Amino acid sequence: MAEMAESAGKGSLEGVDLLVGMATTRAIRRYTDARVTDEQLQQIMFSATRAPTGSNRQPGRFVVLRDGDVATEAKQLIARSAQAFWAQKRAADGYDAGSGADENSPKARMARTMTAFVEGFASVPVVILPCLVRYREPTPSEGASIYPACQNLLLAARALGLGGVLTHWHGGVEDELRALLAIPDGAAIAATIALGHPAGAHGPVRRRPLAEVVFEGAWGASPPWAQDPPDARFTSAGPPK
């Protein structure tokens, strides 16, 4: 497998199984102070750019923010936007109402994680802005040429023992961010991805039961094979109730 390992740009790295990796990659929002190395970024970005794009046009560009004055200023800008977004979402989604009043509820725990995440966002080890160079009018389907790369990016981080999360927190400061980083008008910022060495345990990925979302032959027709494995963890959709 030496040849295959080289094809992945991964040298002799200890491997994570592909199916296991997909089943155990979840949003990581708490990081240690450990530096993300050049070698790790190289591997992560190589994996990201292996993802497919329409007609192999490869419209993705990736602005990595790690050290230095400009990167720090960019992270501070995004932190401001993240804090405003979260304050709004916390109220709109009722994080402090109902079970949120119990500090041990999933809702209250998620609220604490989010608050710590946005307040410390300027110190996130690495922030990556995946951008899409547009060659036609904006459309909901253009994401097919950038979000597969974002998923590869997060899976590669998982393979290296890192973790991250995809957000849209550039949204509130996009003009300042574009000016600071010289992002041209023709390029859309598709996401703000935070990355680092995970602090604490990961916990399982929780999703809706497969039978609710997988159909065969027609909308709503759940086939007999759409069953979760016995140890799957479930959740209802959306913010904690």
Choose one: 76-84, 99-107, 116-124, 198-206; the region binding its own copies (CB under 8 A): 198-206
Segment lying near its own copies (by CB under 8 A), choices 8-16, 79-87, 96-104, 116-124: 8-16
Work out how close the CB of 60 gets to its own copies at its nearest, in angstroms, rounded to a whole number.
Answer: 6
Q: Which stretch binds its own copies (CB under 8 A): 76-84, 94-102, 143-151, 195-203?
A: 143-151
Residue 104: CB minimum distance to its own copies, A: 20
Does residue 41 bind its own copies (CB under 8 A)?
yes
Q: Are 109 and 101 in contact (CB under 8 A)?
A: no
Q: Is 99 in the site for its own copies (CB under 8 A)?
A: no
- Does residue number 84 form part of the binding site for its own copies (CB under 8 A)? no
How many residues contact its own copies, by CB under 8 A? 110
**Angstrom distance (rounded) from CA 143 to CA 43:** 23
In angstroms, the CA 22 to CA 53 distance is 20
122 binds its own copies (CB under 8 A): no
Whether the CB-CB separation of 150 and 166 falls below 8 Å is answered with: yes
Is 179 near its own copies (CB under 8 A)? no
